[in-house]
Amino acid sequence: MAIINALARTARYSIRDSFHSSHNHVQKTRQFSASPLPKVATSTQHPFAYGANDEVARLAASRRRPLILADLLKHGRPPLSKDALLASANFTLSLLPARLASRIEALRNLPFIVVSNPHVSKIYNNYIHSLSTLLPYQQRQVATLDEEKRFAEVLADLVHTHTNTIPILARGFLECRRYIDPTEVTRFLDTHLRARIGTRLIAEQHLALHFASPLVNNDGQLPKTTAPSNYIGVIDTALQPARIVKLCEDFVGEICELKYGLRPRLTIGGQPDATFAHVPVHVEYILTELLKNAFRAVVESGNEREPIEVTIAAAPDVPRHAVRVRPYSLPTGIPSNQPHADVGIEMDTVVGTADANESIKYSSPSTQSITIRIRDRGGGIPPEILPNIWSYSFTTFSELDPQGSDNGNMDALNAMSASGGHLSSIAGLGYGLPLSRAYAEYFGGSIAVQSLWGWGTDVYLTLQGVGKVG
């Protein structure tokens, strides 16, 4: 109870405002928790005031054990049994609070004038609210299917709450650019983006398992027949990059046709039938950003008759001896149904807010790797721009007209594509390539750009698969 009260005092205004917008969500939390959050009254206390030795700092400084891919897959293929579903819920609860606290602590370490910005303040309050909502679940654990159902509803609401974190933070830093060094902003955003990928992956994995496990009785009996699926949670074990390329081509092509009145051609070569295990949403976002750049370059250079060439190459299984996974023990009460000898993701054990050190290492003698080359005849990248393509270009905005088209970032193609999904809402912020690289590198992949000024650009996207899943 002391933890909850401390968090409530930390963000009186934030939780009060969040409760108004999420009344049903809080009611679910109160039904479950034996120690519900107290109703937060209006106070003159500053929303960022926090006392010494508060629980946020303690959680943020706690040492987190490595996370491997087996953790995400160990509960088995859906539909899950009752025990497996409850184990997945409690495993999710064992990871999220410390990660949320780490992000809160990182925001607190920013200059006070930056944290006081309404946009940055909103994100800070969202994290405080999410942490204070999850702590009662973590303290009591999820023991029944009804409790797991309520937890999944609350978790889905929290995931939705953080959907626009990146664009909101970006606007906040844009407004505070005179008070904070650009390198510090880049460092913070890079850390935050990578930490956010891991946090959302953990939450969305359990939600996907929950919705794919329609238990018919309270005793946990599964349906007698279930349709086979390639998915284990959010991971597609037989993802075909060529199919994702075609989907992204259709989406970007329609936007390009609306903007310019024409649509460049795209050809797919190499090994279009290649498959591997990966997270489709990540791949789709990366390819959308890369194809958007290629389509725009080709059209604006007047070479729209030259097709954009996409070549897919699957690397052969080659023994790897880079890193061995360090041993660890599972938390009490979390059963392990599968051996941990499969290809694994390992986060370096970190202390405090060092989420930027999240690195993915592989323990299997062979891993899947697919490289996608996107070649365009769009004239290449100007030499003066090339060194900055991986930087967060918030400083190039016009302060008076951030949505304008004269700042070198925002254009009609990006503006119209913003309707394509929540990730596209960062269009025009110059985050496309940096965020794409973060998604690729999270699973050990990479993005390399080779530009021939006056001719065109080759982009090499290497996606390290999450391993062969039986």
Cis, peptide link before residue 382, omega less than 30° from 0 = no
List pLDDT tens digits, range 361-387: 444 434 579 999 999 999 999 998 888
For residue 158, give the CATH number of its domain: 1.20.140.20
Same domain, 281 and 157: no
Task: Please indicate, yes or no, if residue 296 is contained in any of the structural domains.
Answer: yes
The DSSP code for 389 is T
Same domain, 163 and 246: no
The DSSP code for 408 is S
Same domain, 163 and 253: no
Q: Contact at 8 Å (CB) between 254 and 420?
A: no
> How does the average pLDDT of the chain come out, rounded?
74
Supply the pLDDT for residue 469: 64
For residue 209, list its beta bridge partners: none
Given a cut of 70, is residue 423 above it in pLDDT? no
Residue 169 belongs to what domain range? 53-212
Arithmetic mean of pLDDT, 261-271: 95
Same domain, 387 and 314: yes
Q: What does residue 457 show for φ and ψ, rounded to 5 degrees?
A: -135, 140
Same domain, 368 and 307: yes
Same domain, 301 and 416: yes
Give the pLDDT band (50/70/90) at residue 218.
low
Task: Please indicate, yes or no, if residue 93 is contained in any of the structural domains.
Answer: yes
Given a cut of 80, is residue 29 above it in pLDDT? no
**Pairing label, strands 308-314, 266-270:** parallel
List pLDDT tens digits, range 401-416: 444 433 333 343 444 3
Q: Which two tokens stand for residue 149?
A: 């159902």
Arithmetic mean of pLDDT, 197-212: 93
Strand positions, DSSP E, 266-408: 266-270, 276-278, 308-314, 369-376
Task: Please indicate, yes or no, if residue 82 is contained in any of the structural domains.
Answer: yes
The DSSP code for 42 is P
For 203, counting Cβ atoms within 10 Å of its Cβ (0-12 exposed, 13-18 middle, 19+ buried), the class is: buried
65 compared with 297, residue with greater pLDDT: 297
Which one of 179, 212, 245 terminates a domain?
A: 212
Supply the pLDDT for residue 393: 57
Task: Please indicate, yes or no, if residue 44 is contained in any of the structural domains.
Answer: no
Given a cut of 70, is residue 56 above it in pLDDT? yes
Strand positions, DSSP E, 210-348: 231-232, 235-239, 266-270, 276-278, 308-314
Integer Cα distance of 444 and 367 in angstroms: 11
pLDDT more than 90, % of the chain: 44
Task: Please indicate, yes or no, if residue 14 is contained in any of the structural domains.
Answer: no
For residue 371, list its beta bridge partners: 313, 462
Supply the pLDDT for residue 224: 55
Task: Please indicate, yes or no, if residue 304 is contained in any of the structural domains.
Answer: yes
Q: Which of 284, 285, 277, 283 is nearest to 345 (CA)?
A: 277
Identity of residue 214: P
- The CA distances from residue 339 to 76, 408, 465, in Å, are 12, 51, 19
Supply the pLDDT for residue 114: 93
Arithmetic mean of pLDDT, 222-234: 70
Task: Please indicate, yes or no, if residue 458 is contained in any of the structural domains.
Answer: yes
Task: Please indicate, yes or no, if residue 85 is contained in any of the structural domains.
Answer: yes
Same domain, 181 and 261: no
pLDDT more than 70, % of the chain: 65
Given a cut of 60, is residue 351 above it in pLDDT? no
The DSSP code for 23 is H
Same domain, 298 and 429: yes
Identity of residue 340: H
Same domain, 259 and 135: no
Given a cut of 60, is residue 216 above it in pLDDT? no
Integer Cα distance of 111 and 93 in angstroms: 31
Q: What share of the chain is helix, strand, coil (3-state, %, to 5)?
A: 50, 10, 40
422 compared with 68, residue with greater pLDDT: 68
Same domain, 300 and 376: yes
For residue 464, list its beta bridge partners: 369
Q: How many structural domains compose the chain?
A: 2
Same domain, 305 and 240: yes
Q: Contact at 8 Å (CB) between 298 and 376?
A: yes
List pLDDT tens digits, range 42-55: 333 334 444 434 78
Q: Which two tokens stand for residue 179?
A: 């008070």
For residue 391, give the CATH number of its domain: 3.30.565.10
Same domain, 254 and 138: no
